[in-house]
Chain A
C-alpha cells in the first residue's frame, strides 16, 4: 500500500500510525473475542456466602422465575399469583419471566443468577432429572420433605410420580401440572373416509398407514425444526417397545442401550414410522405438523397434549375435526412431564417462597392453573368440573395408567443426556442410518452415569 503521497515521514507521524494500528488491533481482537467471550458465565466464585437462608425482616416481596410468557400459560401463572395474594396480602410479587421457547433462554439466565449468588425465591423447572441432574446434584436446592408431609401431598400424588421426582428419598420441587407426551392426534374425517380406526398397536399403525399411503394421503405428520419432534416420537416408540418398567430402566442402567436387542427393534420401528412421514419435516415445527392434521393434508401426528391446546386455539372442534388416542402400542401407559417449582438455597424471601410452594401444590392452585394452561393437575383429586373434555379424559388416565417419565421434556434424564440423545435422533431423521444412531445413543448413555 505504499503510495506516492508520502514524501517524508516524521517520527510523530510514525507514532500516530502505531497508535492507530494499536487501536485497529484492539478493535480487531474484540471481534475475535466476541466468539470467545460468549462462553463465559459470569466468573464469580461459588456463592458460598449466599447459601444460608436469609433471616432479614424484608419479607415483603416474592420473586417467581419462569418462562411462561405465552397466552394460556401466562394466564395460569396469573391465577396462581391471585391465590397467593389472597393468602398473603401486602406481599409484592415480582414476575421474573424470560421469554423463549421451552425455556432455553430462561435456563441460561437462571444459571447466571444462581452462580452469581442471586437466586430467585422460586423458579420453574421440569420435575425429575432436569431439576435433579442440574440443580440438586450441584447442591443448590433445599429439600422440602416437610412440606410434602405437612400438606398431605404424599397421599394425593401418585406413588410412581413421587418416586420419579425424588432424589435419594428427598423431594426438591412441587409439581404443579402434568402433560402427557404419548398422544396420537388424528383427523376424524380422513380416517372415517377410508373406513379406518385410530391405530392401537404398532401393527395397527402399519396397516392404517399403508392404506392411507396407497390412497395418496400423508399418514403421519412429523415436525423437526425445533429439534425435539423426532426425539419425542422416538421416546413414545421406545415406551411401546419396552413397556413402562423396562423403559424407565433405560435411564437408570445405561448399559441396557448396548446390551438389549429391543433398542435395535425400536430404531427399526422409528425408521418404519418415518417412512410413512412427510419428507419436509426439517422445515416444520411441531405446530406446523399438527396444522396439517386439522387441515386434512395429513392423517395423524404424534405429539404431547399441548397439541390439544393448539387445535382448540385454531378453532378445530374436538371430537368433530380431530380425535385422540394413546400413541400406538402405549395404551395403558402415561408418559408424563411436569412443570414444578423448587426452593433454591439462599432464597431471599424464604417464608414467602414456602407459602408460594403451598399454593402450587394445593388443590385450589392446581385447579386454577391447569384449565388455563391446558394441562392436568399432578394431584389425583381435582375438581373435574372445571376441566374440558380432553383434560377430563387425561385426568382419568393419569390416575389409572402406568407412569413413565419423558426424556425429551426433562423428566427421565439430565440435560447433557437430553442434548446428546436429541442430536442422535435428529441426525437419524435426516440420514436414516441405523448403525450410526445406535452408536450415538450408546455414546449418549455415558452421560447418564456422570
Chain B
C-alpha cells in the first residue's frame, strides 16, 4: 500500500534522487553502513554476546575463582528458586513494582493536571517537582533512610520523632519490621516465604515514588498540552461536566503516554539496586531484598558465578516480559501506518 503511494505521490523527487545516487554510487551504499557498523558491532559483542556468555555461565558449575564450564543443566536455577532469599526477592519485586508504578503514575498525573490548570508560577513548580529526578538513587536512599530510622519507643527518631512532637501516636517500626501484611502473610504449602506486602518495603516505595513521580508528571504534562483544546471545548458545548471531559476525552488520550511511562518505570523497578542497597541493604531479614542485590552478593561476595549468572538471566527474562510485547506492539503500529 505504502509503496504504491510512494510511486504515485512524488515521482519527480524519486527521479532526482535516483540521479544523485547514480552519481555517487559507492558512497551512497557504504557510508550509512560504515556509520552504524561500530555501534552494531559493539552492541553485538557487549549486549548480545554477554547475554549469551551469561547464559552459558548460568548452566555451568562455576563456583569459586577458577572457571568451570562443566554443563549442569538447570541445577543453578533450581537452587536459587528453592532458596528462601530468592523467593522473598521475587515477592518483593512484584510488590515494589506494582506499588511504585501505581503511585508514580497517580501522583504524576495528579500533579500534571493541577499544573495544567494555568496555575501562576507554573515553571517554578515544574522545576520543584522534577528536581528529585536530578538526584541519584543512592542519595535518595541515604536521606530517606534517616527519615525512617524509628529509634526506640523512649527516644524516637526521624518521622517517629516528628509524630511525637505533633502529639500523634508513633505508628510503626518503619524500616525495621519484617512483618508481612496481611497479618503474617499468606502461607503457601510449597513456598518458603509468606506471600503479602512486606511492611519494611513501604518506606522504600515511598522514596522511589518521591524520586520518579516528577518524571511521570513531566510526561503527562507534555501529553496534556498535546491534546487539542477544540476536543474539550466541543465536549463542554455538548454539556459535559469537567469530570466527564477528563474521564471521556482527556484520560483516553493519555493512554499512549501512560504505556511509555509504565515501560520506563517498570524496567527501573524490576532491576532496582542502588536505592534499596543504600536505604535498607535488603534487610531486615530479606524483607526488602531484591534480585539485583542477591545477584551482586552471590557473584561478588560468595564467588558463586554460575548462580549469580542464573539470577541475572531471571532478571533479564522479567524485564523482557515487560519490554518485548511493547516493542512488538510498537513495531506493528509503526508498519501499519
Contact = CB atoms under 8 A, between A and B. Distances in A.
Interface stretch (B96-104, B126-134, B313-321): B313-321
A83 interface: no
B331 interface: yes
A31 interface: yes
A390 interface: no
A405 interface: no
Contact of A225 (B66, B281, B313): B281
B47 A26 contact: yes
Nearest to A285: B281
Contacts of A281: 176, 284
Contact of A33 (B47, B302, B305): B47
Given A6-B337, A9-B2, A36-B316, A30 B43 contact: yes
Interface in B304-325: 304-305, 308-309, 311-313, 315-316, 319-320, 323
Nearest to B280: A282
B150 interface: yes
User: Which of A14, A40, A278 has most B Cβ within 10 Å?
Assistant: A40
Contact of B315 (A35, A40, A41, A216): A35
Interface string B154-184: 1100000000000000000111111000000
Interface extent on B, as a size class? 35 or more
A40 B53 contact: yes
Given A21-B334, A25-B327, A26-B43, A426 B286 contact: yes
B299 interface: yes
Nearest to A415: B302
Contact of B53 (A35, A43, A227): A43
Contacts of A41: 305
B330 interface: yes
Contact of B327 (A28, A137, A218, A416): A28
A226 B284 CA distance: 10
A39 interface: yes
Interface stretch (B5-13, B116-124, B215-223, B234-242): B5-13
B284 A423 contact: no
A229 to B, nearest CB: 11
A429 interface: yes
B224 interface: no
A315 interface: no
A306 to B, nearest CB: 20
A10 B271 contact: no
For the residues of B in contact with A, the DSSP-based class is: helix
Interface residues of A, number: 73
B301 interface: yes
A108 B302 CA distance: 10
Contacts of B176: 279-283
A135 B335 CA distance: 56
User: Which of A2, A32, A104, A440 has most B Cβ within 10 Å?
Assistant: A32
Contacts of A156: none
Contact of B303 (A26, A29, A134): A134
Interface stretch (B23-31, B244-252, B290-298): B290-298
Interface in A386-425: 415-416, 418-420, 423
Contacts of A114: 65
B9 A430 contact: no
A234 B286 CA distance: 18
B313 A36 contact: yes
Contacts of B64: 134, 137-138, 416
B39 A1 contact: no
B70 interface: no
A49 to B, nearest CB: 16
Nearest to B64: A138
B92 to A, nearest CB: 13
B66 A427 contact: no
Given A14-B2, A111-B65, A33 B50 contact: yes
Nearest to A436: B84
9 contacts: A2-B337, A36-B54, A138-B64, A225-B281, A282-B283, A283-B149, A283-B174, A419-B298, A419-B301
Q: Top 6 closest A-B pairs, CB basis?
A: A430-B285, A282-B284, A430-B178, A138-B65, A430-B284, A8-B5
Given A26-B47, A107-B300, 4 more contacts: A6-B337, A35-B292, A225-B283, A423-B85
